[in-house]
Chain A
Amino acid sequence: MKGLRFYGEGSLTLICLFAAIVSVATTLGIIASLLFETLGFFQKVPIQEFLTADKWTPNFDNPQYGIRPLLTGTFMIVIGSAVVALPLGLLIAIYLSEYAHPQVRRIVKPLLELLAGIPSVVFGFFGLIVVTPFLKRIGLPVETFNALSGSIIVGIMILPLVASLSEDAIASVPRGTREAAYGLGASRAEVSITVVLRSAISGIIASFILAISRAVGETLAVTLAAGANPTVAIDFTQAIQTMTAYIVEVSKGDAPRSGVAYQALFSVGLTLFVITLALNILAQRFVKRFQKYS
């Protein structure tokens, strides 16, 4: 738009421009604050130790700062929750889009949105109070805090997201594609699997990646259900610690205001930020590809 005629309109434009700049400044602020403290951290802790040491013990007299235990914890939650949420979410999406009565779909879709709005802390509590006791009852040798319970609860948390986004992808496959297959005599299962899924695959992959990214950044659910025990051992019955849970653990006490422990917080934050950013950019690639083909 052009030709602002009245006095004062120019300043309105400036205000809006300034607001748009705030959003860019946010990104710069995140990157700058994470990088600044992380660089300070690497002056005291060699980057090799950060990447290769297999212990994360900032509170010990002889502290070690190896990110691997925290990465392992996050990775376990991602794998565990993906096993729960991805297949289930995809099947739910196929059901909603290909089999369910439109009326059912109209009810279930908003329901998924409501479920997605339940906060993380709530799911964490449910993991602690429902899932872990259940795992014990069926005879699994789990600790009070354990990675399995954390994975299941994060899986349940991201399930609505997977189902909803995959359903969007599947539903946007053009009607004509389906009709062509039906016209050739294909059954509903054949249409769903060979035609619809194949056309929507990029969109479905994008929904999977976004769900995984969500699991990586998931904080209170894993803090409450999976514990605070950084370890490189992959044992789902034991307590673990994710990157996010570490940040919470340090912050909820009297957060250190300076020193290596404070800077360590940001080095973990930067690792987390880089991983989720890479996942989100990857997901956007798939979304773009999907839009191009459909």
Chain B
Amino acid sequence: MTPSPFSSVSAGRKFKDKFVHALCLTAVLVGIAFLVVVIVGGIRDGLPRLSLDFLRNPPNPRRPEQAGVFVAMMGSLWVVGLTLLIAVPVGVAAAIYLEEIARPSRTRDFVQANIANLAGVPSIVYGLLGLAVFVRAMQVGTNLLAAGLTMAVLVLPTVILVTQEALRMVPRSIREASLALGGTPWQTLIRQTLPTSIGTILTGIIFAAARAIGETAPLIVVGAVGFIVKSPSNLTDSYTVLPLQIYSWSSDPKKSFQINASAAIFVLIVVLTAMNLTAIVLRNKLQRR
């Protein structure tokens, strides 16, 4: 939208207009400059460390030059896998209940408001929940299973909210056609509504997975360890994850460990950006349809 060319604009007002425009543009440039300087400055030192060995090697406290992120990546894979295994079925089922089964009522509004609030709870509080409930009360211990459970609870609100949105986007006519042909509500849901919305649900799951991979604070609270040389191989093993490996390397004052942190950050950013980008592109494609 542009101002009317017929309006008579005084010099003062014209200047003010230019000034606001310049101010906003400056803000954009400053914001970009901040981010570029910080990101480039942060990963520059790590780039020479990147190699196949860096991806294949376990951490090495004595020879940082030979250390790698393999163990941490395996830990991250385990944790995110477990998280999704728990959170996706529960989250999708809860969304189905709220969107397709429950009738509008005070109780439903309450549950809905509750989920919205959960999405805003700081991640470290989920760590405390995991510590009190999973690690201590249920005696799971400080292992992969506790991590998966804690992370699943953390991403659950996100999974529920995106699934609900996906279900809401399915046109009414599809449901009505199925019901009119004699389909039961559940047949309609399983054969029509869910397949129609599966793409959007998938984008939400990718976002949730990316969040679970980057999250560190709750895992520190439920007992992830900063240094470990062996990849976990079952649910009761102790573990580390990529962001925690970064944390423990960057808290080490030795320069060579900081270079490792830098290189590991590059790996983490590439993985997360690839995931988020996939989800964004997929979502935009689906929205256009």
B20 to A193, Cβ gap below 8 A?
yes
Residue on B nearest A175 in the bound complex, by CB:
B1
Q: Which of A59-67, A75-83, A230-238, A250-258 contacts B (4 or more CB under 8 A)?
A: A250-258
Assembly CA distance A130 to B136 (angstroms)? 39
Contact with A along B200-224 (1 / 0, CB 8 A): 0000000100110111110011010
B38 to A244, Cβ gap below 8 A?
no
Distance of A280 from chain B, by nearest CB (Å): 4
Residues of B within 8 A of A24 (CB): 111, 114
Q: Does chain B have a CB within 8 A of A138? A: no
A115 to B35, Cβ gap below 8 A?
yes
Distance of A18 from chain B, by nearest CB (Å): 8
* 8 Å CB contact of A33 from B94, B128, B243: B128
Distance of A149 from chain B, by nearest CB (Å): 11
Residues of B within 8 A of A3 (CB): 184-185
Residues of B within 8 A of A96 (CB): 28
Q: Does chain A have a CB within 8 A of B65? A: no
Residues of B within 8 A of A87 (CB): 27
A185 to B7, Cβ gap below 8 A?
yes
Assembly CA distance A121 to B224 (angstroms)? 15
Assembly CA distance A92 to B34 (angstroms)? 13
Q: Does chain B have a CB within 8 A of A203? A: no
Question: Interface residue count for B (Cβ, 8 Å)?
Answer: 100
Assembly CA distance A22 to B129 (angstroms)? 14
Measured as residues with beta carbon below 8 angstroms from the partner, the interface class of chain A is 35 or more
Residues of B within 8 A of A92 (CB): 24, 27-28, 31
Assembly CA distance A186 to B121 (angstroms)? 43
Contact with A along B234-247 (1 / 0, CB 8 A): 00000000011011
* 8 Å CB contact of B94 from A20, A114, A128, A257: A20
B27 to A251, Cβ gap below 8 A?
no
A99 to B25, Cβ gap below 8 A?
yes
B3 to A187, Cβ gap below 8 A?
yes
- A residues 182-204 touching B (CB-CB < 8 Å): 182-183, 185-193
Assembly CA distance A280 to B114 (angstroms)? 11
Q: Does chain A have a CB within 8 A of B83? A: no
* 8 Å CB contact of B3 from A36, A188, A193: A188
* 8 Å CB contact of B185 from A4, A91, A113, A178: A4
Interface residues of chain B, those whose CB is within 8 Å of chain A, are 1-4, 7-9, 13-14, 16-17, 19-21, 23-28, 30-31, 34-35, 37-39, 41-42, 45, 89-94, 96-98, 100-102, 111, 113-118, 120-129, 131-133, 136, 153, 156-157, 160, 184-186, 207, 210-211, 213-217, 220-221, 223, 226, 243-244, 246-247, 250-251, 258, 261-262, 265, 268-269, 272-273, 276-277, 280, 284
Beyond the given A34-B125, A163-B31, A219-B216, could you list 11 further A-B residue pairs with CB under 8 A, ordered by the A residue number?
Answer: A5-B184, A16-B97, A92-B27, A110-B280, A119-B214, A119-B268, A183-B4, A187-B9, A216-B122, A217-B122, A276-B122
